[in-house]
Structure 1
């Protein structure tokens, strides 16, 4: 990722803290932010009946992992020019904090600002994964 893009992303990050057992995202909710995990563990799981009681864990995220970047980067680049927040992607899974989770969030609104301001520095083909370095 270009250094200018990375610096701009840093400018828009907001610190977040989620207590243990907090539901961060539910199936069917708008995917409105990317989460950079700095401490803790997130469980990502799908449910078979729409409840929070039954389902299967798909994966987990921990320190240095990024959750939601693929979904929002895809949305941002496919709607470049005039992305509408009424057509955000919807979560296909649930995300729950297994432990207390700390990190930084980048909202869809700020991600579109980064993409529009960086113009020539933004390359979707090179930016398929975001990392905090």
Structure 2
């Protein structure tokens, strides 16, 4: 009987300690969540929706990654949050302005909706020099460094550039989105290789736009700008050009070449 009482007492003591630890952890998580919400300057309605949903998750005993809340939100709220965070930054990018796309809200919203939120700890590699680049990374919090090795002419010098909120990495892919006349994006087995290393200095938040999402955005942009008939015509011309380049040469081709 004494052994049962002692065991029962120990269990209750452990349960109480565990609840206290859980409560302390939840308080820290709640504080981090509030800090993130206010840093993002959401409107009152969005703040309430986020806190209500996350608190509901807590009550249900589910774990929440407070440093990267977005994936835990419902799809509609995720979309609203991503647009709020990313749209102003996209509009302000130099490459967007130079291509006259700051006013193409429909296209920019498609990019925002396709962004995947990422969170990285300090001193963490995101992309290494020589890796294939399959995404564009828009930095929204923290400090990230890009380092470039330059071994030309027998030298071995290093160049570093600091990226902060509102800057991005992976410009070649972004150019493919903005200039869809390039054929490279049509074949996702061909990817550019990074000439730089991307590494976090502090904890960092970024939004990644992946290659397959580039392709979908690109095709939808073609449809909007050209219309279905012109798009089909463009595709037909491209196929004909590729076929002419790859088919075996005939005597008629040699004769026409000699005549010109």
Q: TM-score if structure 1 supplies the norm length?
A: 0.77
Q: Would you tell me which structure has more strand in proportion to its own residues?
A: 1
Residues 42, 96 of structure 1: 8 Å contact kept:
yes
Is contact 1:42–1:99 with CA below 8 Å preserved after alignment? Answer: yes
* Counterpart among 125, 142, 157 of residue 40 in structure 1: 142
Conserved in 2, the CA contact under 8 Å of 1:36 and 1:104? yes
Contact 2:133/2:191 (CA < 8 Å) preserved in 1? yes
Q: Which residue in the other structure is 1:83 paired with?
A: 186
Q: Kindly indicate whether the alpha-carbon contact (under 8 Å) linking 1:43 and 1:97 is maintained by their aligned counterparts in 2.
A: yes
2:258 maps to: none
After TM superposition, give the deviation of residue 73 of structure 1 in Å: 2.8
Q: Once superposed, what is the RMSD of the aligned Cα atoms?
A: 2.1
Structure 1: gaps spanning 5 or more residues: 123-133
Give the one of 139, 157, 172 matched to 1:71: 172
Counterpart for residue 127 of structure 1? none
Partner secondary structure for residue 166 of structure 2: coil
Map residues 83-122 of structure 1 onto 2, 5 A cutoff: 83-119=186-222, 120-121=224-225
Higher relative contact order (CA 8 A, sep 6+): 1
How big is each residue's C-alpha offset from its partner over 1:58-86, in whole Å with a ceiling of 9 and x where there is no partner? 31210111211x21133453226x62122
Q: CA deviation at 1:101?
A: 0.8
Q: Is the 8 A contact 1:12 1:106 kept in 2?
A: yes
Q: Which has the higher helix share?
A: 2
Query: Normalization by structure 2: what TM-score?
Result: 0.41
SS at match of 2:193: coil
Matched residue pairs, number?
116
Q: Distance in 2 between matches of 1:75 and 1:58?
A: 25
Unpaired stretches in structure 2, ≥5 consecutive residues: 1-100, 227-260
